């Protein structure tokens, strides 16, 4: 499932074509995704102007000038692709510019929702597995909605610091990885980047979180922020279905230190350990048993 860097990468691709633009046409090619689309989904969105496009946790939020916010979640295989009026002229309808590797063109049968702006840009949402979803939430009551009311701070914000982690970890016997994946503790983190950050900070994913000292938490917070920033810069991680809005694949998977590297040498300076893998709370945890103690 796409994590914070992937969702932020998608937001960065969609923002120039949606933010400040009026939706001239909206097409829902099926009545549901993971959940049924809201009643009057097409009618409410047609003619609406997107005031801003932001991210909260793993959600994309299109704030409308009307009373609603369009909430979009990619699920496991959701993908947006943009077609701009100038694309066919620039590329001759075939080659795409740039040095990036590109995902295969999505199957048209999985194109479920289409947004067209007055400027002529077309944004299509594809989702083969249909685990993604879209909803309309009244903006005035947004923070009270069950999906958002209990979310923790954004990990790239000033509100996420060692003091916050110390309070969240106090007295807890669960491992830090389990707690960092809890969206009530911090919003947007997922399995990949928690494994990476804990390895960089040389903290065991299994040690009771309440026993981790303040100095180590001071080291963990900047490592979380750094790995997220680096992943966003690389366009996220493409493991299965993720692709950017222009079809380019993310590159951060080539920088993994632990994730999906079982049996390979630890990349931390001075460590001669080998990356191990254990199942923790139903998910694969990759770590170095030598330097993460």
Name the E strands within the chain. 23-28, 50-56, 59-64, 68-73, 79-83, 111-117, 122-126, 133-138, 276-280, 283-287
**Amino acid 201: pLDDT:** 97
Q: Looking at the predicted structure, is the pLDDT value of residue 243 above 80?
A: no
Ranges of CATH 1.10.8.50 domains, the chain: 162-287
Phi, psi (deg, nearest 5) at residue 215: -65, -35
Q: How many CB atoms lie within 10 A of CB 209?
A: 25
Is 3 designated active site? yes
- Give this prediction's pTM: 0.88
Active-site residue, selected from the candidate residues 2, 5, 155, 176: 2
How do 111-117 and 23-28 pair as beta strands? antiparallel
Quick one: CATH architecture of 4-144?
A: Alpha-Beta Barrel (3.20)
Q: Looking at the predicted structure, is the pLDDT value of residue 211 above 70?
A: yes
Ranges of CATH 3.20.190.10 domains, the chain: 4-144
**CA distance to 98, 128, 130, 196, per residue, from 76 (Å):** 27, 9, 8, 20
Average pLDDT value over all residues in the chain: 89
Say if domain 162-287 classifies as CATH 3.30.930.10. no
Active-site residue, selected from the candidate residues 219, 230, 283, 289: 283
Active-site residue, selected from the candidate residues 55, 58, 79, 177: 58
Among 182, 268, 267, 264, CA closest to 277:
264
Among 230, 180, 184, CA closest to 5:
230
Is 155 designated active site? no
Task: Tell me if residue 246 falls in helix, strand or coil.
Answer: coil
Strand partners for 114? 27, 124
pLDDT tens column, 137-161:
999 999 999 999 999 999 999 999 9
Q: Looking at the predicted structure, is the pLDDT value of residue 238 above 80?
A: no
**Amino acid 92: pLDDT:** 43
Is 2 designated active site? yes
The owner of tokens 């993604």 is 132
Is 222 designated active site? no
């Amino acid at each position: 499932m796409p994590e914070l860097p992937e969702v932020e990468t998608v937001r960065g691709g969609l923002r120039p074509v949606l933010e400040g633009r009026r939706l001239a046409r909206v097409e829902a090619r099926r009545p549901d995704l993971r959940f049924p689309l809201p009643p009057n989904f097409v009618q409410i969105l047609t003619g609406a102007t997107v005031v801003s496009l932001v991210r909260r946790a793993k959600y994309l939020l299109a704030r409308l000038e009307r009373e609603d916010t369009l909430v979009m979640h990619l699920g496991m295989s959701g993908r947006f692709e943009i077609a701009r009026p100038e694309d066919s002229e620039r590329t001759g309808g075939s080659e795409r510019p740039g040095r990036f590797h590109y995902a295969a063109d999505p199957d048209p049968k999985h194109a479920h929702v289409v947004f067209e702006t007055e400027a002529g840009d077309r944004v299509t949402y594809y989702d083969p597995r249909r685990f993604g979803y879209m909803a309309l939430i009244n903006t005035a009551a947004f923070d009270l909605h069950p999906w958002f009311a209990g979310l923790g701070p954004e990990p790239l914000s000033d509100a996420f610091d060692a003091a916050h982690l110390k309070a969240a970890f106090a007295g807890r016997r669960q491992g830090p990885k389990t707690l960092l994946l809890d969206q009530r503790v911090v919003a947007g983190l997922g399995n990949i980047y928690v494994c990476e950050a804990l390895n960089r900070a040389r903290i065991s994913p299994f040690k009771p979180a309440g026993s981790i000292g303040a100095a180590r938490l001071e080291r963990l917070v900047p490592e979380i922020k750094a790995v997220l920033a680096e992943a966003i810069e690389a366009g996220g991680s493409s493991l299965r279905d993720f692709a950017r809005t222009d079809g380019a694949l993310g590159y951060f998977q080539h920088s993994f230190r632990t994730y999906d590297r079982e049996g390979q040498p630890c990349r931390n300076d001075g460590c001669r350990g080998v990356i191990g893998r254990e199942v923790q709370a139903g998910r694969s945890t990759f770590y170095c048993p030598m330097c993460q103690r």
